[in-house]
Amino acid sequence: MFARPSRRVLFLCTANVCRSPLAEALLRHRLRECGMHRHVAVASAGTRVGQPGRRPDPRTLQLCAQAGVSLRGIRARAVNLKLLERSDTILVMEQQHLDDLAGQKVPDRLLDRVQLLGGYLPPAYPAEAGNAIPDPYFADGEGFRAVYARIDAAVLGLLQDIAGF
């Protein structure tokens, strides 16, 4: 019999093709590395998904492939009440995503679970617009790599919180 995950993490960005699928894949990868993958369920969604079912951005796919991080099975989907209710921790990339949820009349009890992923960045990491993770969609390759590094650093901070060290 399989154990149920003891924690459920949901990452949100705008279209669910760049930042949140990357965060989902990186956390899954890190959890597997430390043997905690059966204890934490990880998902992602978007607040304004224009193309449900779309694969992650090709640049996200490329960076993850280079790092040996799998994006298998991750497709764009819109956030919904069921996803939010099933999540213990909801991590957004920027304040606008929290505003989007509030605009969708998400109950306060669920909004209380929302945090900025950038809040898990190490103190030495440069603060950027209130710890927002900027959208790399219109960025060049270097901008995408910078967002990848920023999300990876925040995911490592989140993992330390989950693991309790």
Name the active-site residue from 19, 28, 59, 150: 19
The pLDDT tens digits for 86-95 are 999 999 999 9
The pLDDT assigned to 104 comes to: 94
CATH architecture of the domain with residue range 7-163? 3-Layer(aba) Sandwich (3.40)
Active-site residue flag, 19: yes
Query: 3-state class of 84 per DSSP?
Result: helix
Domain locations in the chain? Answer: 7-163
Residue 139 carries which side chain, given as an amino acid letter? A
The pLDDT tens digits for 95-138 are 999 999 999 999 999 999 999 999 999 987 776 666 899 999 99
Residue 9 has pLDDT above 90, yes or no: yes
Active-site residue flag, 88: no
Alpha helices per DSSP H over the chain = 19-33, 58-67, 81-85, 95-103, 108-111, 141-163
Name the active-site residue from 8, 55, 135, 145: 135
Active-site residue flag, 135: yes
Q: What are phi and psi of 43, to 5 degrees?
A: -145, 170
pTM, two decimal places = 0.94
Residue 2 has pLDDT above 80, yes or no: no
